[in-house]
Structure 1
Protein backbone atom coordinates (compact mmCIF):
# COMPACT_ATOMS: atom_id res chain seq x y z
CA UNK A 1 0.00 0.00 0.00
CA UNK A 2 1.15 3.55 -0.79
CA UNK A 3 -0.15 6.42 1.31
CA UNK A 4 0.51 10.13 0.78
CA UNK A 5 0.27 12.25 3.93
CA UNK A 6 -0.62 15.74 2.70
CA UNK A 7 -0.59 18.79 4.93
CA UNK A 8 -3.71 20.93 4.50
CA UNK A 9 -3.61 24.25 2.66
CA UNK A 10 -3.00 27.60 4.28
CA UNK A 11 -5.39 29.24 6.75
CA UNK A 12 -5.40 32.81 8.05
CA UNK A 13 -3.86 31.51 11.29
CA UNK A 14 -1.04 29.88 9.31
CA UNK A 15 -0.49 33.20 7.58
CA UNK A 16 -0.38 35.02 10.93
CA UNK A 17 1.86 32.25 12.39
CA UNK A 18 -0.53 31.37 15.20
CA UNK A 19 -0.73 28.02 16.98
CA UNK A 20 -3.69 26.25 15.43
CA UNK A 21 -3.96 22.73 16.83
CA UNK A 22 -7.56 21.55 16.98
CA UNK A 23 -9.11 24.99 16.59
CA UNK A 24 -11.23 24.57 13.47
CA UNK A 25 -9.98 27.31 11.15
CA UNK A 26 -11.01 27.18 7.44
CA UNK A 27 -8.75 27.50 4.43
CA UNK A 28 -8.13 30.94 2.99
CA UNK A 29 -7.96 31.62 -0.76
CA UNK A 30 -4.24 30.86 -0.83
CA UNK A 31 -4.92 27.53 0.84
CA UNK A 32 -7.49 26.62 -1.78
CA UNK A 33 -5.02 27.48 -4.53
CA UNK A 34 -2.37 25.36 -2.78
CA UNK A 35 -4.76 22.41 -2.76
CA UNK A 36 -5.20 22.76 -6.53
CA UNK A 37 -1.42 22.91 -7.00
CA UNK A 38 -0.96 19.85 -4.77
CA UNK A 39 -3.47 17.93 -6.86
CA UNK A 40 -1.66 18.87 -10.09
CA UNK A 41 1.67 17.73 -8.62
CA UNK A 42 0.51 14.20 -7.77
CA UNK A 43 2.03 11.42 -9.85
CA UNK A 44 0.01 10.19 -12.78
CA UNK A 45 -0.65 6.70 -11.41
CA UNK A 46 -4.28 6.38 -10.29
CA UNK A 47 -5.19 7.03 -6.66
CA UNK A 48 -8.03 5.09 -5.06
CA UNK A 49 -9.37 7.56 -2.50
CA UNK A 50 -8.79 10.80 -0.64
CA UNK A 51 -9.37 10.71 3.12
CA UNK A 52 -8.74 13.31 5.78
CA UNK A 53 -8.80 14.61 9.30
CA UNK A 54 -12.28 15.83 10.25
CA UNK A 55 -11.09 19.43 10.77
CA UNK A 56 -12.49 21.74 8.09
CA UNK A 57 -9.12 22.89 6.73
CA UNK A 58 -8.11 19.29 6.05
CA UNK A 59 -11.50 18.21 4.77
CA UNK A 60 -11.76 21.11 2.33
CA UNK A 61 -8.24 20.41 1.06
CA UNK A 62 -9.26 16.78 0.53
CA UNK A 63 -12.44 17.80 -1.27
CA UNK A 64 -10.54 20.07 -3.65
CA UNK A 65 -7.96 17.39 -4.43
CA UNK A 66 -10.61 14.69 -4.91
CA UNK A 67 -12.63 16.86 -7.26
CA UNK A 68 -9.58 17.98 -9.23
CA UNK A 69 -8.17 14.52 -9.90
CA UNK A 70 -11.51 12.69 -10.06
CA UNK A 71 -10.96 10.38 -7.11
CA UNK A 72 -13.63 9.37 -4.55
CA UNK A 73 -13.71 11.39 -1.34
CA UNK A 74 -13.48 8.88 1.48
CA UNK A 75 -13.91 8.93 5.23
CA UNK A 76 -12.58 11.21 7.90
CA UNK A 77 -10.35 9.64 10.58
CA UNK A 78 -10.24 11.11 14.06
CA UNK A 79 -6.70 9.76 14.46
CA UNK A 80 -5.53 12.18 11.74
CA UNK A 81 -6.57 15.25 13.73
CA UNK A 82 -3.88 17.72 14.75
CA UNK A 83 -2.18 17.66 18.15
CA UNK A 84 -4.18 19.51 20.79
CA UNK A 85 -2.17 22.50 22.01
CA UNK A 86 -4.62 23.42 24.74
CA UNK A 87 -4.50 27.01 26.00
CA UNK A 88 -1.75 27.91 23.51
CA UNK A 89 -4.06 27.68 20.51
CA UNK A 90 -4.49 31.07 18.90
CA UNK A 91 -1.22 32.37 20.35
CA UNK A 92 1.42 33.84 18.05
CA UNK A 93 4.25 31.34 17.72
CA UNK A 94 6.76 34.14 18.42
CA UNK A 95 5.24 34.52 21.91
CA UNK A 96 5.40 30.85 22.93
CA UNK A 97 8.89 30.79 24.42
CA UNK A 98 8.12 33.81 26.57
CA UNK A 99 4.79 32.55 27.85
CA UNK A 100 5.57 28.81 28.02
CA UNK A 101 9.36 28.25 27.85
CA UNK A 102 8.87 24.53 28.52
CA UNK A 103 6.00 24.26 26.03
CA UNK A 104 3.90 22.89 28.89
CA UNK A 105 0.58 24.26 27.68
CA UNK A 106 -2.38 23.36 29.89
CA UNK A 107 -4.60 20.91 28.02
CA UNK A 108 -1.89 19.88 25.56
CA UNK A 109 -1.94 16.36 24.14
CA UNK A 110 1.35 14.76 25.29
CA UNK A 111 3.95 14.70 22.51
CA UNK A 112 4.64 10.99 23.02
CA UNK A 113 1.03 10.12 22.21
CA UNK A 114 0.89 11.85 18.81
CA UNK A 115 3.11 9.52 16.76
CA UNK A 116 1.41 6.31 17.93
CA UNK A 117 -1.95 7.90 17.17
CA UNK A 118 -0.72 8.66 13.66
CA UNK A 119 0.31 5.04 13.21
CA UNK A 120 -3.16 3.95 14.30
CA UNK A 121 -4.54 6.21 11.56
CA UNK A 122 -2.32 4.54 8.98
CA UNK A 123 -3.41 1.10 10.14
CA UNK A 124 -7.10 2.00 9.93
CA UNK A 125 -6.67 3.46 6.45
CA UNK A 126 -4.72 0.38 5.36
CA UNK A 127 -7.49 -1.85 6.68
CA UNK A 128 -10.18 0.14 4.87
CA UNK A 129 -8.21 0.39 1.59
CA UNK A 130 -6.13 -2.78 1.56
CA UNK A 131 -3.39 -2.67 -1.05
CA UNK A 132 -4.56 0.67 -2.38
CA UNK A 133 -3.05 4.07 -3.11
CA UNK A 134 -4.59 6.62 -0.76
CA UNK A 135 -4.17 10.35 -0.21
CA UNK A 136 -4.62 11.34 3.44
CA UNK A 137 -4.92 15.05 4.26
CA UNK A 138 -3.81 15.85 7.79
CA UNK A 139 -1.74 18.36 9.77
CA UNK A 140 1.93 19.31 10.02
CA UNK A 141 2.67 18.26 13.59
CA UNK A 142 0.69 15.04 13.28
CA UNK A 143 2.55 14.14 10.07
CA UNK A 144 5.98 14.89 11.54
CA UNK A 145 5.29 12.79 14.63
CA UNK A 146 3.98 9.93 12.48
CA UNK A 147 7.03 9.93 10.22
CA UNK A 148 9.30 10.11 13.28
CA UNK A 149 7.50 7.14 14.83
CA UNK A 150 8.27 5.13 11.70
CA UNK A 151 11.93 6.16 11.32
CA UNK A 152 12.79 6.23 15.01
CA UNK A 153 13.74 9.91 15.06
CA UNK A 154 12.62 12.65 17.40
CA UNK A 155 9.78 14.55 15.75
CA UNK A 156 11.62 17.78 16.59
CA UNK A 157 14.34 16.69 14.14
CA UNK A 158 11.87 16.85 11.27
CA UNK A 159 11.51 20.14 9.42
CA UNK A 160 8.38 22.20 9.28
CA UNK A 161 6.31 20.88 6.38
CA UNK A 162 4.93 23.35 3.88
CA UNK A 163 1.19 23.72 3.46
CA UNK A 164 -0.05 21.21 0.86
CA UNK A 165 3.27 19.33 0.82
CA UNK A 166 3.16 15.55 0.53
CA UNK A 167 5.12 12.83 2.35
CA UNK A 168 4.88 9.26 1.10
CA UNK A 169 4.82 6.13 3.25
CA UNK A 170 4.58 2.54 2.04
CA UNK A 171 3.30 -0.57 3.81
CA UNK A 172 5.40 -3.60 2.92
CA UNK A 173 5.47 -6.94 4.77
CA UNK A 174 3.40 -5.50 7.65
CA UNK A 175 5.89 -2.64 8.22
CA UNK A 176 5.63 1.04 7.31
CA UNK A 177 8.50 2.71 5.49
CA UNK A 178 8.96 6.41 4.80
CA UNK A 179 9.56 7.09 1.09
CA UNK A 180 9.63 10.90 0.96
CA UNK A 181 9.53 13.74 3.49
CA UNK A 182 7.78 16.85 2.22
CA UNK A 183 8.56 15.83 -1.35
CA UNK A 184 12.24 15.02 -0.69
CA UNK A 185 13.51 11.45 -1.04
CA UNK A 186 14.03 9.90 2.40
CA UNK A 187 17.64 9.01 1.55
CA UNK A 188 18.32 12.74 1.17
CA UNK A 189 16.31 13.67 4.23
CA UNK A 190 17.72 11.16 6.71
CA UNK A 191 21.32 12.44 6.73
CA UNK A 192 20.02 15.85 7.75
CA UNK A 193 17.77 14.29 10.37
CA UNK A 194 20.67 12.27 11.75
CA UNK A 195 22.88 15.34 11.97
CA UNK A 196 25.33 14.04 9.38
CA UNK A 197 24.67 16.96 7.02
CA UNK A 198 23.49 20.53 7.18
CA UNK A 199 19.69 20.52 7.42
CA UNK A 200 17.98 21.62 4.22
CA UNK A 201 14.52 23.03 3.73
CA UNK A 202 12.27 20.19 2.65
CA UNK A 203 9.64 21.63 0.35
CA UNK A 204 6.89 20.14 -1.72
Structure 2
Protein backbone atom coordinates (compact mmCIF):
# COMPACT_ATOMS: atom_id res chain seq x y z
CA UNK A 1 0.00 0.00 0.00
CA UNK A 2 1.19 3.51 -0.81
CA UNK A 3 -0.13 6.47 1.15
CA UNK A 4 -0.44 9.50 -1.12
CA UNK A 5 -1.18 13.06 -0.01
CA UNK A 6 -2.49 14.80 -3.11
CA UNK A 7 -2.22 18.51 -2.64
CA UNK A 8 -3.66 21.15 -4.92
CA UNK A 9 -1.11 23.86 -5.75
CA UNK A 10 -1.28 27.26 -4.06
CA UNK A 11 -3.23 30.19 -5.47
CA UNK A 12 -2.35 31.96 -8.71
CA UNK A 13 -3.68 35.25 -10.04
CA UNK A 14 -5.98 33.27 -12.37
CA UNK A 15 -7.37 31.32 -9.39
CA UNK A 16 -8.05 34.63 -7.67
CA UNK A 17 -9.79 35.94 -10.82
CA UNK A 18 -11.72 32.63 -11.15
CA UNK A 19 -10.24 31.79 -14.58
CA UNK A 20 -9.85 28.29 -16.00
CA UNK A 21 -6.09 27.60 -16.07
CA UNK A 22 -5.75 24.10 -17.41
CA UNK A 23 -2.28 23.66 -18.84
CA UNK A 24 -1.57 27.38 -19.11
CA UNK A 25 1.54 27.78 -16.96
CA UNK A 26 0.54 30.51 -14.48
CA UNK A 27 2.90 31.01 -11.49
CA UNK A 28 1.94 31.20 -7.82
CA UNK A 29 1.10 34.59 -6.36
CA UNK A 30 2.12 35.68 -2.84
CA UNK A 31 -1.05 34.18 -1.37
CA UNK A 32 -0.20 30.86 -3.04
CA UNK A 33 3.28 30.88 -1.55
CA UNK A 34 1.82 31.53 1.91
CA UNK A 35 -0.69 28.70 1.37
CA UNK A 36 2.18 26.33 0.52
CA UNK A 37 3.80 27.16 3.86
CA UNK A 38 0.53 26.43 5.70
CA UNK A 39 0.17 23.16 3.77
CA UNK A 40 3.68 22.17 4.80
CA UNK A 41 2.74 22.72 8.45
CA UNK A 42 -0.39 20.60 7.92
CA UNK A 43 1.74 17.78 6.50
CA UNK A 44 4.42 18.02 9.21
CA UNK A 45 4.77 14.83 11.23
CA UNK A 46 3.26 12.66 8.50
CA UNK A 47 6.42 10.63 7.91
CA UNK A 48 6.50 11.78 4.28
CA UNK A 49 9.64 10.61 2.53
CA UNK A 50 9.36 12.16 -0.92
CA UNK A 51 7.47 14.70 -2.98
CA UNK A 52 6.47 14.61 -6.65
CA UNK A 53 4.82 17.43 -8.62
CA UNK A 54 3.24 18.32 -11.88
CA UNK A 55 5.80 20.11 -14.06
CA UNK A 56 3.55 23.19 -14.30
CA UNK A 57 5.27 25.99 -12.39
CA UNK A 58 2.45 26.59 -9.87
CA UNK A 59 2.62 22.96 -8.71
CA UNK A 60 6.39 22.68 -8.86
CA UNK A 61 6.90 25.85 -6.79
CA UNK A 62 4.34 24.68 -4.22
CA UNK A 63 6.25 21.38 -3.97
CA UNK A 64 9.60 23.16 -3.63
CA UNK A 65 8.30 25.24 -0.70
CA UNK A 66 6.86 22.16 1.04
CA UNK A 67 10.02 20.11 0.45
CA UNK A 68 12.14 22.89 1.95
CA UNK A 69 9.98 23.19 5.08
CA UNK A 70 9.76 19.42 5.59
CA UNK A 71 13.44 18.93 4.75
CA UNK A 72 12.72 16.52 1.92
CA UNK A 73 14.83 16.09 -1.20
CA UNK A 74 13.93 18.42 -4.05
CA UNK A 75 10.69 17.34 -5.71
CA UNK A 76 10.73 15.28 -8.86
CA UNK A 77 8.16 15.93 -11.57
CA UNK A 78 5.86 13.64 -13.50
CA UNK A 79 4.32 14.83 -16.78
CA UNK A 80 1.15 12.79 -16.17
CA UNK A 81 0.24 15.02 -13.23
CA UNK A 82 -0.45 18.13 -15.36
CA UNK A 83 -3.89 19.68 -15.18
CA UNK A 84 -6.66 18.82 -17.59
CA UNK A 85 -6.31 20.38 -21.02
CA UNK A 86 -9.38 22.64 -21.24
CA UNK A 87 -8.86 23.49 -24.90
CA UNK A 88 -10.76 26.64 -25.85
CA UNK A 89 -11.85 27.03 -22.22
CA UNK A 90 -8.40 27.99 -20.96
CA UNK A 91 -8.24 31.58 -19.73
CA UNK A 92 -12.04 31.92 -19.66
CA UNK A 93 -13.75 33.07 -16.46
CA UNK A 94 -15.30 30.07 -14.69
CA UNK A 95 -18.81 31.59 -14.85
CA UNK A 96 -18.45 32.21 -18.60
CA UNK A 97 -17.03 28.70 -19.07
CA UNK A 98 -20.15 27.08 -17.56
CA UNK A 99 -22.49 29.50 -19.34
CA UNK A 100 -20.88 28.62 -22.67
CA UNK A 101 -20.32 24.89 -22.33
CA UNK A 102 -22.05 23.71 -19.13
CA UNK A 103 -21.17 20.05 -18.64
CA UNK A 104 -20.90 19.53 -22.39
CA UNK A 105 -17.78 19.04 -24.47
CA UNK A 106 -15.35 21.92 -24.79
CA UNK A 107 -13.64 22.23 -28.18
CA UNK A 108 -10.09 20.91 -27.97
CA UNK A 109 -10.40 19.80 -24.33
CA UNK A 110 -9.33 16.53 -22.78
CA UNK A 111 -12.44 14.51 -21.83
CA UNK A 112 -13.16 13.64 -18.20
CA UNK A 113 -12.64 9.94 -18.99
CA UNK A 114 -9.25 10.68 -20.59
CA UNK A 115 -8.30 12.77 -17.56
CA UNK A 116 -9.33 10.04 -15.09
CA UNK A 117 -7.33 7.39 -16.94
CA UNK A 118 -4.25 9.61 -17.17
CA UNK A 119 -4.50 10.65 -13.50
CA UNK A 120 -4.79 7.07 -12.28
CA UNK A 121 -1.90 5.92 -14.48
CA UNK A 122 0.26 8.81 -13.23
CA UNK A 123 -0.25 8.13 -9.52
CA UNK A 124 0.25 4.41 -10.10
CA UNK A 125 3.61 5.21 -11.75
CA UNK A 126 4.53 7.59 -8.91
CA UNK A 127 3.67 4.93 -6.32
CA UNK A 128 5.53 2.18 -8.20
CA UNK A 129 8.85 4.03 -7.77
CA UNK A 130 8.71 3.58 -3.97
CA UNK A 131 5.54 1.70 -3.00
CA UNK A 132 6.19 1.64 0.74
CA UNK A 133 7.08 5.34 1.01
CA UNK A 134 4.39 7.87 2.01
CA UNK A 135 4.47 10.40 -0.83
CA UNK A 136 3.24 13.97 -1.26
CA UNK A 137 1.95 14.65 -4.77
CA UNK A 138 1.38 18.29 -5.76
CA UNK A 139 -1.03 18.55 -8.66
CA UNK A 140 -4.19 20.34 -9.79
CA UNK A 141 -7.85 20.59 -8.86
CA UNK A 142 -9.26 18.89 -11.93
CA UNK A 143 -6.82 15.99 -11.73
CA UNK A 144 -7.42 15.46 -8.00
CA UNK A 145 -11.20 15.68 -8.47
CA UNK A 146 -10.99 12.93 -11.09
CA UNK A 147 -9.13 10.69 -8.62
CA UNK A 148 -11.72 11.38 -5.92
CA UNK A 149 -14.39 10.35 -8.41
CA UNK A 150 -12.53 7.14 -9.26
CA UNK A 151 -12.03 6.23 -5.59
CA UNK A 152 -15.71 6.79 -4.73
CA UNK A 153 -17.34 5.42 -7.89
CA UNK A 154 -18.51 8.94 -8.72
CA UNK A 155 -20.23 9.71 -5.39
CA UNK A 156 -17.76 12.50 -4.67
CA UNK A 157 -17.07 15.27 -5.22
CA UNK A 158 -20.69 16.38 -4.91
CA UNK A 159 -22.05 19.14 -7.16
CA UNK A 160 -20.91 22.54 -5.92
CA UNK A 161 -17.91 21.17 -4.03
CA UNK A 162 -14.48 22.40 -5.00
CA UNK A 163 -10.97 21.82 -3.80
CA UNK A 164 -9.37 24.83 -2.17
CA UNK A 165 -5.88 25.84 -3.20
CA UNK A 166 -3.29 24.00 -1.07
CA UNK A 167 -5.91 21.55 0.24
CA UNK A 168 -4.77 18.00 1.01
CA UNK A 169 -6.65 14.84 0.01
CA UNK A 170 -5.30 11.52 1.26
CA UNK A 171 -5.45 8.33 -0.78
CA UNK A 172 -4.21 4.80 -0.30
CA UNK A 173 -3.20 3.00 -3.48
CA UNK A 174 -3.36 -0.77 -3.11
CA UNK A 175 -3.42 -3.71 -5.48
CA UNK A 176 -7.21 -3.71 -5.07
CA UNK A 177 -7.48 -0.10 -6.21
CA UNK A 178 -7.56 3.49 -5.04
CA UNK A 179 -9.10 4.30 -1.66
CA UNK A 180 -10.06 7.76 -0.44
CA UNK A 181 -8.72 8.19 3.11
CA UNK A 182 -9.41 11.90 3.82
CA UNK A 183 -11.43 14.39 1.80
CA UNK A 184 -11.93 18.09 2.49
CA UNK A 185 -13.76 20.56 0.25
CA UNK A 186 -15.49 23.90 0.34
CA UNK A 187 -18.68 24.98 -1.39
CA UNK A 188 -18.27 26.91 -4.62
TM-score, reference length from structure 2: 0.91
Distance in 1 (CA, whole Å) between partners of 2:174 and 2:72 is: 24
| Deviation of the 1:88 alpha carbon | 1.0
Unaligned stretches of 5+ residues in structure 1? 183-200
| Deviation of the 1:78 alpha carbon | 1.3
Contact 1:170 1:176 in 2 (8 A): yes
3-state SS, counterpart of residue 152 of structure 1: coil
- Note closer, same or farther for the CA distance 1:101–1:47 as it changes in structure 2 (3 Å cut): closer
The Cα offsets for residues 82-122 of structure 1, whole Å up to 9 and x where unpaired, read as 00100111111111233334542211001111112111111
Contact 1:3 1:168 in 2 (8 A): yes
| Deviation of the 1:157 alpha carbon | 2.6
Distance in 1 (CA, whole Å) between partners of 2:94 and 2:46 is: 38
Contact 1:114 1:146 in 2 (8 A): no
Greater RCO (CA < 8 Å, at least 6 residues apart)? 2
**1:171 match:** 173
Segment of structure 1 superposing worse, 102-111 or 32-41: 102-111
**1:134 match:** 135
Distance in 2 (CA, whole Å) between partners of 1:41 and 1:115 is: 27
| Deviation of the 1:147 alpha carbon | 1.5
**1:149 match:** 150
3-state SS, counterpart of residue 18 of structure 1: coil
The Cα offsets for residues 44-65 of structure 1, whole Å up to 9 and x where unpaired, read as 1321111100100000000000
> What RMSD, in angstroms, separates the aligned Cα atoms of the two structures?
1.8
| Deviation of the 1:202 alpha carbon | 4.2
For 1:58-97, list aligned pairs within 5 A. Answer: 58-97=59-98
Could you list the structure 1 runs, at least 4 aligned residues long, displaced by more than 6 angstroms after superposition: none
